[in-house]
Amino acid sequence: MGALQLRDVCKQFGPTKVIHNVSFDVPDGSFTVFVGPSGCGKSTLLRMICGLETVSSGEVMIDGQVANDIPAARRGLAMVFQSYALYPHMSVQQNMAFGLENIGTPKAEIAARVGEAARMLRLEPYLSRKPTALSGGQRQRVAIGRAIVREPRIFLFDEPLSNLDAELRVDMRAELAALHRRLRTTMVYVTHDQVEAMTLADQIVVLRAGRVEQVGHPLELYNRPANRFVAGFIGSPRMNFLEATLAEVQNGLVVAALPGFGLVPTNRLASSLQPGAKLTLGIRPEHAALAEDGVVVGQVGLVEQLGGMSTIRLDQPDLTVQIAGQTGLSFGATVRVALPRHVLHVFDEAGLALPAAPAAPLAT
């Protein structure tokens, strides 16, 4: 068991409010990732969940029970810290055993659990070493091992991979995913890296400035971002945004006017918007296409050839196009870019996404 619910959770440090009425559910067994830019309150939220930080108002519920006043140690959670927080004066073995010793676990059981965790994390050769004698990836695994032996209801991770180099990060990501598949324990994971979020999560909570922007499955966030922030944050390279106005409404759908280029039909419902209203068109680089009849015309400012795919940056307007394969285009060439209507996102002046027409599902 390890379900988590947040109800209107707020956090204030003195006069400054850093978490604003956050509510969402973390289902038992899920891998939920909090993602958002640095300083948006991810760590604070996580620390409130695990009890290291008090909740200013609202409720944190673990398995249906309000946990606000339960001390950290008794919530049955385990935390993996960003800096790992390994006890530097204890060996790997002692680091993992410390928590169990504290609650008076029998020696034999401690040895069994530590041994099992060490085996799972391939730490057996290092059990007697001190943390300083380990590589970054090994330290990371010790920190995870320390959490595993406690057999918690929920694992909490605060940017656990941010201290590793890029290659190791990819490996550890795979290991974490494997670990989750195997343990089936709820994991709550904080990161500012949306790639990590996309690859690991089965539920993502996007945070900005202490507020939840959107909660959902990774692909749902990719396909149906609720607002411009989520659209820009999820997906790499970043979604292109083009300022436009509402030219007319056809069959309830928006036809946008792109200044200097003409009309762009979309599959988005205009709702109550009136012609002339300010809009933002959003198109992911991988969805924009080079086409003879493309509506946008521009000059190539930069070409990045990755071999398997190529990225073409236009300067005017600022637009990135990603295409499969290689390209003969070079700096200064004039190209036309099409904005296919079924993958075109439209945001109103407040940044909220306009709903898609029911008959026309977005990118499939």
Partner 1 sequence: MANLLTARRGRLRWDWTDWAAHLYLVLGTLVMFGPVLWLGLSSVKSESGLQAYPPTILPYEQARIDVPERGTLKLFHVTQGEHAGQDLAEVRRLGLQSQLVDPANPGTLIRLPIEARTPVMRLHAAWENFTDLFSQFSFARIVWNSVFITVVATVLTLLVNSMAAFALSKYKFSGRDQVFLLMLATLMIPPTIVLVPNYLIASQLGLTNSPWGVIWPAVATPTGVFLLRQYMLTLPDELLEAARMDHASEWRIYWRIILPLSSPALAVLAIFSVMWRWNEFLWPMVVLSRSESFTLPLALNSFQGELTTQWHFLLAMTVLTLLPVTAIFVVLQRHIAQGIASAGVK
Ligand X SMILES: Nc1ncnc2c1ncn2[C@@H]1O[C@H](COP(=O)(O)OP(=O)(O)O)[C@@H](O)[C@H]1O
Residues in contact with partner 1 by the rule CB under 8 A: 50, 52, 71-73, 77-79, 81-83, 85-89, 98-99, 102-103, 146, 150
Q: Is-contact 239 283, C-beta < 8 A?
A: yes
Among Mg ion, partner 1, ligand X, none, the one that 73 touches (CB under a kind-dependent 5 to 8 A) is partner 1
Q: How far is the CB of 94 from partner 1 (least distance, A)?
A: 10
Candidates 39-47, 90-98, 142-150, 356-364; binding stretch for ligand X (CB under 6 A): 39-47
Q: How far is the CB of 66 from ligand X (least distance, A)?
A: 22
Residue whose pair of structure tokens reads 């899920």 in the numeric block:
30
Closest C-alpha to 91, from 57, 121, 131, 123: 131
Among 5, 30, 32, 44, binds ligand X (CB under 6 A): 44
Q: Does 54 bind ligand X (CB under 6 A)?
A: no
Residues 6+ apart with CB under 8 A from 191: 33, 34, 35, 42, 159, 161, 162, 197
Q: Is-contact 291 337, C-beta < 8 A?
A: yes
Q: How far is the CB of 158 from ligand X (least distance, A)?
A: 7
Among partner 1, Mg ion, ligand X, none, the one that 41 touches (CB under a kind-dependent 5 to 8 A) is ligand X
Q: How far is Cα 353 from Cα 364, in angstroms, rounded to an integer?
A: 18
Q: How far is Cα 141 from Cα 120, in angstroms, rounded to an integer?
A: 10
- Say what angle helices 92-102 and 107-120 make with each other, to 10 degrees: 140
Candidates 35-43, 115-123, 307-315, 335-343; binding stretch for ligand X (CB under 6 A): 35-43
Q: Does 40 bind ligand X (CB under 6 A)?
A: yes
Q: How far is Cα 9 from Cα 337, in angstroms, rounded to an integer?
A: 45
Q: How far is the CB of 297 from ligand X (least distance, A)?
A: 41
Our CB check for ligand X shows the closer of 42 and 180 to be 42
Our CB check for Mg ion shows the closer of 55 and 258 to be 55
Strands 186-191 and 4-13: unpaired
Q: How far is the CB of 161 from ligand X (least distance, A)?
A: 14
Q: How far is the CB of 47 from ligand X (least distance, A)?
A: 7
Our CB check for ligand X shows the closer of 41 and 145 to be 41
Q: How far is Cα 322 from Cα 207, in angstroms, rounded to an integer?
A: 27
Q: How far is the CB of 159 from ligand X (least distance, A)?
A: 7
Q: How far is Cα 143 from Cα 258, in angstroms, rounded to an integer?
A: 52
CA torsion 178→182→184→189, rounded to 10°?
A: -30
The residue nearest ligand X at its CB is: 43
Our CB check for Mg ion shows the closer of 134 and 212 to be 212
Given the rule CB under 6 A, which residues bind ligand X? 13, 18, 36, 38-44
